[in-house]
Amino acid sequence: MPAQALFGQLLIGLINGSFYALLSLGLSVIFGLLNIINFAHGALYMMGAFVAYFLLQYAGLGYWWALVLSPVVVGLVGIVIERTTLKRLYQLDHLYGLLLTFGFALVIQGVFRHEYGSSGLPYSMPAQLSGGQNLGFMFLPNYRAWVIVVSLTVCLGTWYVIERTKLGAYLRAATENPTLVRAFGINVPRMITLTYGFGVGLAALAGVLAAPIYQVNPLMGADLIIVVFAVVVIGGLGSILGSIITGFTLGVVEGLTKVFYPEASNTVIFVIMALVLLVKPTGLFGRAP
């Protein structure tokens, strides 16, 4: 086994893991408060990449602007979706939320595919991050290192805010018992709206980070999101730390599978999911539903 290939796949695994972690973190934050699985997450991730592309094409704003503006724009789209449609369904079975967001995923993907076809649009990486470092045992492109650092920072930052600050305490309290938290004078519906916007913004951030690596493609989120769903099931729905750890770990496991048994690299995450479900149906870090 050449060490070069091993480290190469490990790096790819870490990159994929960065995206899994960011996306499953967003899903977990949303699930915690809204109790819905956001099926539109993959489509909004794709939209994040497209907003970065539009900013460059039509406003001349480059990567660094996109990194800030795209999550805000997509977050606002998410807030509109939540305010106009999702909030009507909170009294009903949560499965309707899943079906509604699935509908949005189809519409968003359909519109972008109609306009831009199924082939990818190139998006170049910022000049500051091109090139790479020779670590002796492998070559590390700067941009890939940047993606891993950003993802780790954002994930741990989110975890810190939710688990260690007063705002996070409100959020966790509202997850446990929204009625009681409202009785204390906290605007829970607004908190729900902002949480959805934030979770969706995380997806858009992942989209911008992915744009220089994978190109901007209307279908880039379609199959990815299903892998992320499996990641979320393995980590335990709604567990913040669980989704970060499983996201990175499974990315690496997938990368290693590509080295040792390439035929199984597409399915390994689903096989792990089946095994985890046999032993612990609530996921590795999940509590009983």
Partner 1 sequence: MTAATREYVEAGALAPAAAATPRHQVVAFLVMVAFFVAAPFVFYPVFLMKALCFALFACAFNLLIGYVGLLSFGHAAFLGTAGYAAAHAAKVWGLPPELAILFGTAVAAALGLLVGALAIRSRGIYFANITLAFAQMIYFFCLQAKFTGGEDGIQAVPRGTLLGGLDLRPTLTMYFVVLVIFLLGFLVIYRAIHSPFGQVLKAVRENEPRAVSLGYKPEQYKLLAFVLSATLSGLAGGLKALVFQLASLTDVHWTMSGEVVLMTLLGGLGTVFGPVVGAFVMVTLEHYLAQLGAWVTIVQGVIFIVCVLTFRRGIVGELSRILRKPL
Binding interface with partner 1 (CB under 8 A): 31, 35-37, 85, 88-89, 91-96, 98-100, 102-111, 113-114, 223, 226-227, 229-230, 232-233, 237, 263, 266-267, 270-271, 273-274, 277-278, 281, 289
CB of 98 to partner 1, least distance (A): 6
Closer of 17 and 212 to partner 1 (Cβ): 17
Phi/psi at 108 (5° precision): -60, -45
Closer of 29 and 108 to partner 1 (Cβ): 108
- Residue 3 CA: distances (Å) to CA of 11, 37, 205, 256, 267: 12, 40, 32, 12, 24
Closer of 88 and 164 to partner 1 (Cβ): 88
CB of 270 to partner 1, least distance (A): 4
CB of 115 to partner 1, least distance (A): 8
Which residues does residue 134 pair with via DSSP β-bridges, in sequence order?
A: 139
- Token pair 């910022």 is found at 126
What's the token pair of residue 211? 């744009």
Torsion of CA 235, 239, 244, 250, to 10 degrees: 0
3-class secondary structure, 216 = strand
Closer of 35 and 165 to partner 1 (Cβ): 35
CB of 94 to partner 1, least distance (A): 6
Closer of 103 and 131 to partner 1 (Cβ): 103
Closest CA to 158 of 23, 16, 12, 43: 23
Spatial distance between the Cα atoms of 258 and 104, rounded to a whole number of angstroms: 33
CB of 93 to partner 1, least distance (A): 5
